[in-house]
């Protein structure tokens, strides 16, 4: 855990000794460490189960997430739930879903945008603490933003080449990580669904090998 000598609020949040305490401290903090707080309705910490051994990392909250204060509850989230159900995983029970940034990044037209490097870096201590407290066995990186910030050695990459790969994250060598397409990419380009199905089948095989899940039946490619 990295404390910042000059940021008492951050230190208090990071010092929480369990996940529920961390989440409450973060929400109660009314965090204003970057400019994203100005456009926020709710700070979005996660969705799912902190007891899960699978941590899913997305980019940042969208409109629905900002309104409800829960991660991945809009169209992308509904598709994510279907994809996971297709391999027998229940998002609410079997996953903890978080994001690189906890507040919605908006562009000048009021549309979602990717977080800037400064926003991502400012928010990163929260994601790091989530990883420490959850201690997942597997991390799923949804899309280029999650991949870029969790593996800073990757400068130029194409999701077309990286999606579906199991990787080792420099800061978390003991946790198995996998790069997956962000569900929003599948909503934009449904042709990617066939590849995604192959990727999540490989994921399921690995999770069964690791004894993270039982070889329960999914709903075969039904997303």
In the complex, the residues that contact ligand URA under the rule CB under 6 A are 58-62, 65, 71-72, 74, 76-77, 99
Tokens 């080792």, residue located: 168
Rank residues 64 and 174 by Cβ distance to ligand URA and give the closer one.
Answer: 64
Smallest distance, ligand URA to C-beta of residue 199, A: 17
Q: Which is nearer to ligand URA, 19 or 181 (by Cβ)? A: 181
Cβ closer to ligand URA: 65 or 151?
Answer: 65
Query: Which positions ≥6 away from 120 have C-beta within 8 Å?
Result: 100, 101, 145, 149
Instruction: Output the 3-class SS for 56-103.
Output: EEECCCCHHHHHHCCCCCCHHHHHHHHHHHHCCCCHHHHCEEEECCCC
- Number of other CB atoms surrounding residue 106 within 10 Å: 18
Of 46 and 176, which has the nearer Cβ to ligand URA? 46
For ligand URA, the closer CB: 11 or 49: 49
The answer to whether the CB of 60 falls within 8 A of the CB of 113 is: no
Shortest separation between residue 223's beta carbon and ligand URA, angstroms: 16
Output 47 or 199, the one with its CB closest to ligand URA. 47
Pair of tokens at residue 53: 């051994």
In the complex, which residue's CB is closest to ligand URA?
A: 58
Total residues belonging to the chain: 223
CA 62 – CA 83 distance, rounded (Å): 19
Q: How far is the CB of 205 from ligand URA (least distance, A)?
A: 25
Shortest Cβ distance from residue 10 to ligand URA (Å)? 22
Question: Over the range 136-171, which residues count as b (16 or more CB within 10 Å of their CB) and which as e?
Answer: bbbbbbbbbbbbbbbbeeeeeeebeebbbeebebee
């Amino acid at each position: 855990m990295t404390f910042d000598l000059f940021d008492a609020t951050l230190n208090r949040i990071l010092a929480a000794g369990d996940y529920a305490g961390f989440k409450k401290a973060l929400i109660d903090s009314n965090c204003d460490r970057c400019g994203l707080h100005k456009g926020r309705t709710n700070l979005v910490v996660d969705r799912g189960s902190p007891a899960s051994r699978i941590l899913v990392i997305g980019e940042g909250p969208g409109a629905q997430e900002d309104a409800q204060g829960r991660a991945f509850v809009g169209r992308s989230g509904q598709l994510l739930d279907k994809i996971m159900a297709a391999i027998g995983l229940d998002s609410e029970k079997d996953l903890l879903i978080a994001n690189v940034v906890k507040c919605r990044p908006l562009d000048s037209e009021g549309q979602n945008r990717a977080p800037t490097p400064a926003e991502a870096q400012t928010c990163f201590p929260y994601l790091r603490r989530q990883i420490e407290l959850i201690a997942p066995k597997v991390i799923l990186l949804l899309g280029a933003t999650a991949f870029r910030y969790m593996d800073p050695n990757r400068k130029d990459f194409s999701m077309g080449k990286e999606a579906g790969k199991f990787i080792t994250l420099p800061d978390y060598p003991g946790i198995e990580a996998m790069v997956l397409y962000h569900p929003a990419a599948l909503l934009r380009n449904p042709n990617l669904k066939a590849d995604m199905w192959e990727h999540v089948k490989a994921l399921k095989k690995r999770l069964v090998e690791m004894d993270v899940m039982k070889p329960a039946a999914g709903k075969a490619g039904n997303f």
